[in-house]
Amino acid sequence: METIYSADWLLPIEGAPLKNGAVAFESGRITRVGTSAELGAGRRFPGAAILPGFVNAHAHLEYASYTGFGDGLDFGGWISLHLQRKLALSFEEIVAVARLGAAECLASGITTVMDASFSAASPRACSELGLKAIVGLEVFGDDPDAALRRFEELRAIAQPALSDKVRLGISPHAPYTVSTEVYAAARELGLPLVTHLAESADERAWLTRGEGRLNALGNVLLPPTGETGIRALARAQAIGTGTVAAHCVDLEPDEIDLLASLDVAVAHCPRSNGYLGCGIAPLTSLLAAGVRVGIGTDSPASAPSFDMFEELRTAVAFARARERNPQVLTAARALELATLGSARALGIGDEVGSLLPGKRADIAIVALDETSLLPWEDAQAAVVLGGSPERVVLTVVDGETQYEKGEFEWDVLRSASAAARGRMLAGGREARAVER
Ligand SMILES: [Zn+2]
C-alpha cells in the first residue's frame, strides 16, 4: 500500500523545492512526488520540510562515545590516544558504542553511512538499527598478506550482519600507516575503498621529509616514502573509481587534478578538520575540478557528534571564510552535497540522494515550527541554518520508519555506550586484545 507524507515544503534536491509538497512510496521505493493537492496530504507534517535522507560520506560509528577524547592534542597524539584507549573494550562493548552511533545518525536524518570500522562491530549495529551502510573494514601495516588476513578475520566477524543494506568495503587507514602495496592489494578486491588522505600538514611533512608530529604513533607509523600519499597511490594505481578519500585538506593544485583525473571521490569533513587544527579543505577548488565531493561527519572523536546539520553549517561557514565570498557555497548547494553529492561520491547516486520516483524511499523530515525561522523565506536555507537532530521528526529508510522523535528508546543505548566510555577513561588498566 502506498504511503504519503506531506509538509510545508518538499526539497527533492533534483528539482526545485515544492511548496505544500508530498512524497508517496510503496515497497521501499518512491512512487510519486508532487504537491499535496496532486498526491493527497496523507500524513501531514506542519511547519516541516521533507528531504532525502542525508548520506554521511565518512564516519566511525565505533567512536560514538569518544566525544572530547584528547581535545587539544596534536594530530599524532590524538590518534595515539585512541589507539591505546580502544584496546580497553571488548567486542560487545564496541558494538554497544556503534549502536549509539547508528542511532545518532538516524536521529540526524542520515539514512546511509560510509563507515570505517576498526573491529567489524559497526555492521551489526547498522543492521540492528536499520541504518544503510557501506562499511570499510580497517587494515594497517606494510605487509599485503598480513593485511588481507586481517581483512578476512574482520569480514568473518561482519558476515552475519551483511546484506543489501549493509555492504562490505575495505579501509586501508592512511598512507602513513599503510604501505602502497597494501593499498594496491586492497583495491584489487574490487570493493568500495575508504581511506584518509591529505588530512594534515603533519602527514605531508612525515611522508615527504620524515618530519612533523606523527611520531607519537610509534610503531604504527611507517617510514617516509619521499612523496605524498596521493602521488604515491596515484602512481601505483592504488586509488581510483570506487575510492572515497576522507579529508583532503592539505592539497597542492596538481593533487586536486590527480583526484579528478583518477575519479577519486572526497568526503569533506570540515568540523573534524577544524577541531583537529588540520585546516580548511579547498572545497570550491575540488568542486571546480570536477571531483565528486560528499559531506561526512567523521566521528565524535574529533567532530564532536554525528550532527549533519552542524556539519553543513560548518561547511558553509568554512567555504565562505576561506574564499572570502558569501556566494561560494549556498545552503541549497550544501544540502545537495550532503545528499546527492555524498551518494554519488559513494557510487550509489542512482539509488539514493534525491526524492525521485524509482529511487529508494530514504527520507528525513525536519520540523522548524516553534523556531524563529517561520514563516518560511527560503526552505533550503532554513533547513541548513535551523536544522538539528532535535528537529528531525522522522527518518525513513527503504520506506520503513527507523527513527521517530519521541518514540525512540535512547536509555539503553546511551547507558551501554556510557559504560564503555567509562572503561576507556578508567585508564586502560584492563586493556586487552579485542575479543573475536
Ligand atoms: Zn576517519
From first to last of the 436 residues of the chain, give the pLDDT tens digit: 999 999 999 999 999 999 999 999 999 999 999 999 999 999 999 999 999 999 999 999 999 998 988 888 888 888 888 888 888 899 999 999 999 999 999 999 999 999 999 999 999 999 999 999 999 999 999 999 999 999 999 999 999 999 999 999 999 999 999 999 999 999 999 999 999 999 999 999 999 999 988 888 888 999 999 999 999 999 999 999 999 999 999 999 999 999 999 999 999 999 999 999 999 999 999 999 999 999 999 999 989 999 999 999 999 999 999 999 999 999 999 999 999 999 999 999 999 999 999 999 999 999 999 899 999 999 999 999 999 999 999 999 999 999 999 999 999 999 999 999 999 998 754 444 333 3
Residue keyed to cell 553543513: 312
Fold classified for 3-52+353-398: Urease, subunit C; domain 1 (2.30.40)
Nearest to 424 by CA among 96, 151, 122: 96
**pTM of the prediction?**
0.96
CA dihedral 287, 291, 295, 300 (to 10 degrees): -120
Lookup: cell for 183? 593499498
- How confident is the model at residue 77, as a pLDDT? 84
What's the CA-to-centroid distance between 178 and ligand 1, angstroms? Answer: 14
Residue 407 has which C-alpha cell? 518514540
pLDDT at 430: 44
- What gap in Å lies between CA 25 and CA 109, rounded to an integer? 18
- Centre of ligand 1 to C-alpha 295, Å, is 12
Cell (9 digits) for 165 = 543494506
Query: What pLDDT, on the 0 to 100 scale, is given for residue 428?
Result: 53
Q: How far is the CA of 305 from the centre of ligand 1 (A)?
A: 13
Distance 298 CA to ligand 1 centre (A): 5
Measure 115 CA to ligand 1 centroid, in angstroms. 8
- DSSP H helical ranges for 108-252: 122-129, 144-158, 180-188, 201-209, 229-235
Instruction: Report the CATH number of the 54-352+409-425 domain.
Output: 3.20.20.140
Report in angstroms the alpha-carbon separations of 52 from 82, 260, 264.
33, 26, 24
Whose cell is 606523527? That residue is: 214
Ligand 1 centre distance from Cα of residue 58 (Å): 6
pLDDT at 212: 85
Domains 3-52+353-398 and 54-352+409-425 share a fold: no
What distances in angstroms separate CA 76 from CA 73, 221, 262, one per listed residue? Answer: 8, 10, 29
Q: What is the CA(197)–ligand 1 centre distance, in A?
A: 10
Distance from Cα 42 to the centre of ligand 1, integer Å: 40
- Going from N- to C-terminal start, the domains of the chain cover 3-52+353-398, 54-352+409-425
38 CA → ligand 1 middle, Å: 44
CB atoms within 10 A of CB 240: 14
| Residue reference for cell 566510555 | 421
- Distance (angstroms) between ligand 1 centre and the Cα of 265 equals 14
What pLDDT does 286 receive?
98
